[in-house]
Amino acid sequence: MKIYAGNLSYDTSDEDLRAAFAQFGTVDSADVISDRSTGRSKGFGFVEMSDPAEAKAAIDGLNGKDLGGRSLNVNEARPRTDRPQRSFSRY
């Protein structure tokens, strides 16, 4: 199950995110999303856990809890919707 973790501190690393979720079970992957141009965290990330019961326990256990001085927003990730390509015009 893919889990969304929002309201992350900009200092939160992939390993910090993995450690927080590992309290509830086996973490397959943990990725903090970064801005492509600056490399700075966007303040959210995704965690994958293969056991649905462990994933549900992590969502229930971490939603609203403090990590790095911020109150986490944790829920099951929604499928990504296709967004239209941005067009950049030069004026």
Q: Which CATH class is domain 2-76?
A: alpha beta
Helices 14-22, 52-62: inter-axial angle, 10-degree rounding: 110
pTM of the model: 0.85
> In degrees rounded to 5, what are phi and psi of residue 54?
-65, -40
**pLDDT tens figures, 35-78:** 999 989 999 999 999 999 999 999 999 999 999 899 999 999 98
Percent of the chain with pLDDT over 70: 90
Task: Centre a 10 Å sphere on the Cβ of residue 13 and count the other Cβ atoms it contains.
Answer: 15
Domain limits, the chain: 2-76
> In degrees rounded to 5, what are phi and psi of residue 10?
-65, -15
| Helix (H) or strand (E) segment spanning residue 31 | strand 29-34
Residue 89 has pLDDT above 70, yes or no: no
Q: What is the pLDDT of residue 43?
A: 96
